[in-house]
Amino acid sequence: MAASKTADLATLAVLDETTLLEVLRRRYADDHIYTYIGDILISINPFKQLPLYEKTMSQRYTNQQKSTLEPHIFAIADAAYRSMLGRAAAKSCNQCIVISGESGAGKTESTKLLLRHIMELCRGNTQLEQQVLQVNPLLEAFGNAQTLMNDNSSRFGKYIQLRFQNGAVKGAKINEYLLEKSRVVHQDTGERNFHIFYYMFAGLSKKDKEMYGLLEPRLYRYLSFQSIEDDLSRSLSTKFSELCNAMDMVGFLEQEQVDMLTILAGILSLGNVVFEPQDSGSMAITGQANHWLNAAMSQLGVDGEKLRQCLLFSRSVTRGESIYRHYTRQQAEDARDSIVKATYARVFGWIVVKINQLLEPRTALGIAETLPEIGILDIFGFEHFKVNRYEQLCINLANEQLQFFFNEFIFSMELNEYKREGIECHAVAFKDNKPLLDLFLGKPIGIMTLLDEESHFPRGTDKTFVDKLNQSFRKNQHYESVRTSDTMFAVNHYAGKVAYSASGFLEKNRDSLPSEIRELFVHSQIPLLSQIFAGTVSRTGTLMLRKGAQANVDGNANSRKSTVGFQFRQSLSVLMEKMSSSNPHFIRCVKPNDSKAADRFDMDMVKNQLRCNGLLETTRIRKDGFSWRPSFEEFVSRYGILILQSSLPPNKESCNMILKKAGLEAWQIGKTKVFFKYRHQEELANLLNEL
Ligand code: ATP
Ligand code: MG
C-alpha cells in the first residue's frame, strides 16, 4: 500500500480551499481518513470501524519512512518514537503530540491508537505496557459521559507523558485539566452523568448493590437517564467488568475500589436530599428526604447531624464566636451540590494521583525524572454553545494558547528565522492570535486577572465584573459588550465570536468549600474520603498531600492563588513550557458531520473546521516553507559521507558540494543553516541507504 498521489496536501499543484476540501472529500469517500499536510496529520472521523489498525498494520508502520506509505496515525507514533530514540543523546529529545479538534472529532480515539502503537513499538510485552494501555479506559469511566455531541465525550483534558529508557517504556504520568464536575449534579436534556454511574448499576450484582445501599437508578435525581434496557445493560455491564480489570491491573487495591463505589453511592443519596420550607422561613429536611440523608450519612461515613447542619446553615466566625444563619432553599441546594461536586472532583483527582504513583518511572537509581519522554495532549476543542459559561471561557482560553503554540511553531519562528538567515520565502499571512491571549491574560488588566480581582472583592458580583470588562476593553477589537444584558460579554476568538453569560463566574472561580464541610469529611469513616479531604486536591485535579505549611488552601479564599482560573492558568503555562521544549507533532482531528454518521461528509462543516484550524495557511507554508533546518555543522557531519570525503570543514562551501552531489531541488542556504523542505530529509536518507 504505497502512498497515493493526494496523500500529502502540501504537494498539490493548486492550493485553495475548494481544492483542499474536494481532495479531502474524495479521500474520505474512499475510506482514506488520514491525510498529511507535510508533517501534520489530518484525521477525519470515519464513524465506522475500518480495517486500519490490525497487527499487520502496526508492523507495516514500524520504522518506516513516512512518505512511502499511506498516511496513518501509526506513522506519527512511529516518527515520534524514532525521533525520541534518535535524538536521545542530544539535549532536547522530548516529543509531544498535540491532538486537536472539536468534540466528537476523534481526539481520544487517536490518543488510544497512538498509545497502542507506541507500546507495540516498545514490544517488551511488559506489565507496564499493559498498565499504560489500561489508563484510558479507567479515566474514561470516571471522566467521560454521553453528550449531544459525542457518546463518549471526555469531560476533562489530559496530557499523558510516557518515559523511556533504551527504547522501553519506564513509566507514565498524567496531568488532568478542568474536570467538568458540574455534570455530577446536573445534565442538560439528552445528556448523561459520567459513565461510571451507569456502569455501576448495570455491573454490580444484586448483593453488591445491597451492600452499597444502591436502589433503582430511576430513584436518583442526579441520574438523567434512568431506564436501562437489557441490551444496553449488557454492554454497560461488560464495561463495568473491564473497568474493574483495569483498576486491578493498574494496581488499585480492593479496598480502594470499594471505597470509591461507596462514595459514589453516597453522592447519589445526598443528591436526593431536598429541602422543605418551614413556617419560620427556615429550611428543613423531612420525610423521605430524611431517609436519604441517613443513607448518605452512612455511605459517606460522616456524622448525620453535622451533615444536616452543613446543608441548612452557613457559619461565620466573628470575634471567636460562631454565628449560624439559615440558608434559603437555593442556598441549601447549592450547599448540597457543592459538597457533591467537590467530592467527585477529589475522587477523580485522587485516581489520577494514584495512577501516577503506580506508574511512576523507576530505574536502578530511583525515580527517573530525566528520561526522554513522549507526551500526548488530548484536550477539549474550542466550544461555542447556545449558553457559554465559565467552563467554556477556560476551555476557549486553553484553545487560544494551543493555537498560539501551533502558530508560533508553524509560522512565527519560521518567518523570523528566514529573515535572520536571509532566506527568500513568500510571507504567508496567518491569523496571529496574540492580541486574544493578551485580552485574557494581560496584567494588570486582562479578563482572567480582572475576574480574580473581582472574586476577592467583598462586594464583587457577576455584574460588577462585566461592568469592569466593559470599561477596560471598550476599545479592544476582540471584545464586545452585550447591550441586551448586563451580565453578558462577547469575545471574538480566533475561531469565531462567543458570547459568555457571566452569571456564576465569581462563584465558580472562587470555588470555596466551607471549612466545616472539609472538617466533617476529614473525619469520615471511609478512609479514602477522609484522605482526599485531608490532602489538598488542587482545582486542576492534582492532589498534594498535606505537608505542614501547605495546609488548608480551601480555607484561604483570600489568596489569589486559590482561584480556579489562577490554577488553570498555572497548569496551562507549565504545559506550554513543557511543550515548547519538546519536538512537536500535530494531529488535527476533523468531524465530518453532526449526526455521528458514517460516509457523510458535510462540506460546510469541514470547511469551517479547516478555517478555525488555519489549515489552508498551514498547507501553504508547508508547501513553500522549509521545515527542516540543520546547521552547516550538523549537515556536513551527517551527509559529508555522500561525497566520500571525511574531515570536511563545516561551512557553506562544503554544504554546497554535498547538495550538488545529492541532486535535490528547491533548498536554500542561509547564513548558518541549510533550509530544506520537509521531503528532503527523506530523500537524503534514501541516498545514504543506497551507499
Ligand atoms: P470529545 O472532545 O467530546 O472528548 P473526541 O474528539 O475525543 O471528543 P472521540 O471520543 O475520540 O472524540 O471520538 C468520538 C467517536 O467517534 C468514538 O467514540 C468513535 O465511535 C468514533 N471514532 C473516532 N475515531 C475513530 C476511528 N479512528 N475509527 C472509528 N471510529 C472512530
Ligand atoms: Mg475525548
Q: Considering the candidates 11, 111, 150, 433, report the single residue annotated as catalytic.
A: 150
Assigned C-alpha cell, 396: 476557549
Q: Considering the candidates 154, 524, 571, 582, report the single residue annotated as catalytic.
A: 154
125 catalytic residue (yes or no): no
Q: Quote the DSSP letter at residue 234.
A: H
**CA–CA dist 631, 460 (Å, integer):** 56
Which residue's CA is minimally distant from atom 24 of ligand 1? 106
**CA–CA dist 203, 208 (Å, integer):** 10
540 catalytic residue (yes or no): no
Range name among 221-230, 261-270, 398-407 with the lowest pLDDT average: 221-230
The phi and psi torsions of 583 (rounded to 5 degrees) equal: -90, 110
Instruction: Look at residue 559 and tell me whether its pLDDT is greater than 60.
Output: no
Q: What pLDDT, on a 0 to 100 scale, did the predictor assign at position 557?
A: 40
Residue of 187, 107, 105 lying closest to 594 (CA atoms):
105
Q: What pLDDT, on a 0 to 100 scale, did the predictor assign at position 101?
A: 92
Candidate of 54, 108, 596 to mutate for ligand 1, largest count of ligand atoms within 8 Å of Cβ: 108
Assigned C-alpha cell, 670: 542561509
104 catalytic residue (yes or no): yes
Ligand 1 atom nearest the C-alpha of 73 is: 27
Question: H-helix or E-strand containing 88?
Answer: none
The phi and psi torsions of 444 (rounded to 5 degrees) equal: -80, -5
Q: What is the CA radius of gyration of the chain?
A: 27
| Percentage of residues of the chain with pLDDT beyond 90 | 70
* Dihedral-angle region of residue 125 (phi above 0 means left; psi in -120 to 50 means alpha; beta otherwise): left
Range name among 43-57, 341-355, 526-540, 606-620 with the lowest pLDDT average: 526-540
Q: What is the pLDDT of residues 669-679, one digit of tens each?
A: 999 999 988 77
Q: Cell 445491597: give the residue.
A: 210
154 catalytic residue (yes or no): yes
Q: Considering the candidates 43, 153, 224, 262, report the single residue annotated as catalytic.
A: 153
Q: Which residue has the higher pLDDT, 546 or 38?
A: 38
**CA–CA dist 295, 214 (Å, integer):** 10
Q: What pLDDT, on a 0 to 100 scale, did the predictor assign at position 220?
A: 96
Candidate of 114, 150, 595 to mutate for ligand 1, largest count of ligand atoms within 8 Å of Cβ: 150
Which of the ligands is closest to the CA of residue 100? 1
Instruction: Look at residue 551 and tell me whether its pLDDT is greater than 50.
Output: no
Q: If 0-12 CB within 10 Å is exposed, 13-18 middle and 19+ buried, where does residue 148 land? A: middle
Distance 193 CA to ligand 1 centre (A): 18
Q: If 0-12 CB within 10 Å is exposed, 13-18 middle and 19+ buried, where does residue 438 land? A: middle
pLDDT class for 430, splitting at 50, 70, 90? confident
43 catalytic residue (yes or no): no
Q: What pLDDT, on a 0 to 100 scale, did the predictor assign at position 612?
A: 82
Ligand 1 atom nearest the C-alpha of 378 is: 7
Instruction: Look at residue 553 and tell me whether its pLDDT is greater than 60.
Output: no
3-state secondary structure of 481: strand
Assigned C-alpha cell, 506: 465569581
Residue of 469, 435, 430 lying closest to 453 (CA atoms):
469
List, in order, residues 6 or more apart from 18 with CB less than 8 Å away.
none
**CA–CA dist 136, 115 (Å, integer):** 10
Helices (H), 408-430: 413-421
Q: What is the mean pLDDT of residues 321-343?
A: 95
- Which residues, judged by CB distance below 6 Å to any ligand atom, belong to the binding site of ligand 1? 45-47, 49-50, 101, 103-109, 149-154, 380-381, 589
Instruction: Look at residue 439 and tell me whether its pLDDT is greater than 50.
Output: yes
Residue of 681, 570, 586 lying closest to 95 (CA atoms):
586
Which of the ligands is closest to the CA of residue 145? 1
Range name among 26-40, 500-514, 575-589, 619-633 with the lowest pLDDT average: 619-633
Residue of 252, 254, 250 lying closest to 129 (CA atoms):
250
Complex ipTM, two decimals?
Answer: 1.00
SS3 content of the chain, % helix, strand, coil (to 5): 50, 15, 35
Highest mean pLDDT among 16-20, 481-485, 625-629: 481-485
Q: If 0-12 CB within 10 Å is exposed, 13-18 middle and 19+ buried, where does residue 490 land? A: middle
Assigned C-alpha cell, 154: 471526555
The phi and psi torsions of 425 (rounded to 5 degrees) equal: -155, 130
Distance 210 CA to ligand 1 centre (A): 36
Ligand 2 ion: Cβ-proximal residues, 5 Å cutoff: 107-108, 154
Which of the ligands is closest to the CA of residue 106? 1
Q: What pLDDT, on a 0 to 100 scale, did the predictor assign at position 637?
A: 87
pLDDT class for 1, splitting at 50, 70, 90? low
11 catalytic residue (yes or no): no
Instruction: Look at residue 369 and tell me whether its pLDDT is greater than 70.
Output: no
Candidate of 35, 42, 47, 195 to mutate for ligand 1, largest count of ligand atoms within 8 Å of Cβ: 47
Q: What is the mean pLDDT of residues 649-657?
A: 93
Q: What is the mean pLDDT of residues 609-617?
A: 84
pTM: 0.89
Assigned C-alpha cell, 567: 490554577
381 catalytic residue (yes or no): yes
Sign of the CA dihedral running 271, 273, 279, 282: negative
The counts of H helices and E strands in the chain are 26, 22
Sign of the CA dihedral running 381, 382, 383, 388: positive
124 catalytic residue (yes or no): no
DSSP track, 16-30: SHHHHHHHHHHHHHT
Q: Considering the candidates 103, 233, 461, 608, report the single residue annotated as catalytic.
A: 103
Q: Considering the candidates 101, 203, 271, 381, report the single residue annotated as catalytic.
A: 381
